Chains A and B, each alone.
Chain A
Amino acid sequence: MSRVSVPCHVKGTVALQVGDVRTSQGRPGVLVIDVTFPSVAPFELQEIMFKNYYTAFLSIRVRQHTSTHTPAKWVTCLRDYCLMPDPHSEEGAQEYVSLFKHQMLCDMARVLELRLILRQPSPLWLSFTVEELQIYQQGPKSPSMTFPKWLSHPVPCEQPAPLIEGLPDPSRVSSEVQQMWALTEMIRASHTSTRIGRFDVDGCYDLNLLSYT
Chain B
Amino acid sequence: MLQEESDLSLIIAQIVQKLKGSNLYAQLERQAWASLQRPEIKLESLKEDIKEFFKISGWEKKLQNAVYSELSVFPLPSHPAAPPEHLKEPLVYMRKAQGSWEKRILKSLNSMCTELSIPLARKRPVGEQKELLNKWNEMGTDEPDLSLFRPVYAPKDFLEVLINLRNPNYENGDSLSFRTHLGLIQVPLKVKDIPELKEFFVELGLTTGQLGIDDSTQVPPELFENEHVRIGQKVLAEQDSAAAQQYIRQGSPTALRAELWALILNISSQPEDILYYEQLKTNVIQHDLLVDSLIYKDVKLTASNDDYYFVFEDYLYQVLLCFSRDTSVLGHFAYNSASPPKSYIRGKLGLEEYAVFYPPNVAPLCFLYHEPSKLYQIFREMYVRFFFRLHSISSHPSGIVSLCLLFETLLQTYLPQLFYHLREIGAQPLRISFKWMVRAFSGYLATDQLLLLWDRILGYNSLEILAVLAAAVFAFRAVNLMEVTSLAAAEAVLADLSTLKVMPLLQIFLFATVT
Q: Do A and B come from one complex?
A: yes
Q: Which positions in A face B, CB cutoff 8 Å?
A: 49, 51, 53-54, 85-86, 88-91, 93-98, 100, 102, 123-128, 132, 190-195, 198, 203-213
Q: A49-B81, A96-B78 are in contact. Are A193 and B171 (CB under 8 A)?
A: no
Nearest CB of chain A from residue B29's CB, rounded to whole Å: 11
Please name all residues of chain B whose beta carbon is closer than 8 Å to the beta carbon of A194 when the two chains form the complex: 18, 20-22
Are B188 and A88 neighbours in the complex by a CB distance under 8 Å?
yes
B170 within 8 A of A: yes
Instruction: List 26 contacting pairs A-B, 8 Å CB cutoff, sorted by A.
Output: A53-B169, A85-B190, A90-B188, A91-B189, A91-B190, A96-B79, A102-B2, A123-B171, A124-B170, A124-B179, A128-B169, A191-B17, A193-B17, A193-B18, A195-B328, A195-B330, A203-B123, A205-B123, A206-B345, A208-B113, A208-B120, A210-B120, A210-B352, A211-B106, A211-B342, A212-B103
A132-B81 Cα distance, complex, nearest whole Å: 10
Q: A96-B82, A195-B327, A195-B328 are in contact. Are A209 and B179 (CB under 8 A)?
A: no
B159-197 interface code vs A (CB 8 A; 1 in, 0 out): 000000001111100000101000000011110000000
Nearest CB of chain B from residue A101's CB, rounded to whole Å: 10
> Contact partner of A126 among B110, B170, B342, B348, CB < 8 A?
B170
Please name all residues of chain A whose beta carbon is closer than 8 Å to the beta carbon of B395 when the two chains form the complex: 90
Which A-chain residue is minimally distant from B325 (CB atoms)? A198
> Contact partner of A204 among B22, B86, B328, B345, CB < 8 A?
B345
A131-B134 Cα distance, complex, nearest whole Å: 61
Q: A193-B18, A209-B343, A210-B343 are in contact. Are A127 and B355 (CB under 8 A)?
A: no
Q: Which of B90, B342, B349 counts the most chain A CB atoms within 10 A? A: B90
> Contact partner of B20 among A51, A125, A190, CB < 8 A?
A190
Are A90 and B190 neighbours in the complex by a CB distance under 8 Å?
yes
Nearest CB of chain B from residue A12's CB, rounded to whole Å: 19
A182-B171 Cα distance, complex, nearest whole Å: 62
Nearest CB of chain B from residue A49's CB, rounded to whole Å: 6
Are A94 and B346 neighbours in the complex by a CB distance under 8 Å?
no
B341 within 8 A of A: yes
B207 within 8 A of A: no
Which B-chain residue is minimally distant from A124 (CB atoms)? B171
B223 within 8 A of A: no
Please name all residues of chain B whose beta carbon is closer than 8 Å to the beta carbon of A190 when the two chains form the complex: 20
> Contact partner of A90 among B91, B123, B328, CB < 8 A?
B91
Are B17 and A192 neighbours in the complex by a CB distance under 8 Å?
yes
